[in-house]
Amino acid sequence: MAKIDEIKEEIGAIKTYLGFIIAFIITIAAGSSKVYLDESSDLLLTLGLIGIIFLTFVFSLLAKVMHKKIKSLKDIL
């Protein structure tokens, strides 16, 4: 049972990380839209969009890892 509990803990941690990433994406998107509407800095807007793209990529990788871990639970049982 220890292996199953270990994988469950890893899945729980990944879920937490995914929640943080979503919060960061929302925050950066709000900031980028504010910069866009104010027309204040093209550099900040570009950095915000790059950050959103990067975090979206990280989110997809973590989601893929989480689904692999979930499928590995089936193999243990």
Q: Is the pLDDT of residue 75 over 80?
A: no
One-letter amino acid identity for 28? I
Note the pLDDT tens digit of each residue in 13-56: 999 999 999 999 999 999 999 999 998 888 999 999 999 999 99
Cβ neighbours for 65, distance < 8 A, ≥ 6 positions apart: 14
- Count CB neighbours of 49 within 10 A: 14
Return the pLDDT at 56: 97
Find the helix or strand (DSSP H, E) in which 28 lies.
Answer: helix 2-38
pTM of the model: 0.84
CA distance 44 to 42: 6
Higher pLDDT, 18 or 3: 18
Three-state SS for 1?
A: coil
Q: Which two tokens stand for residue 63?
A: 């989601």
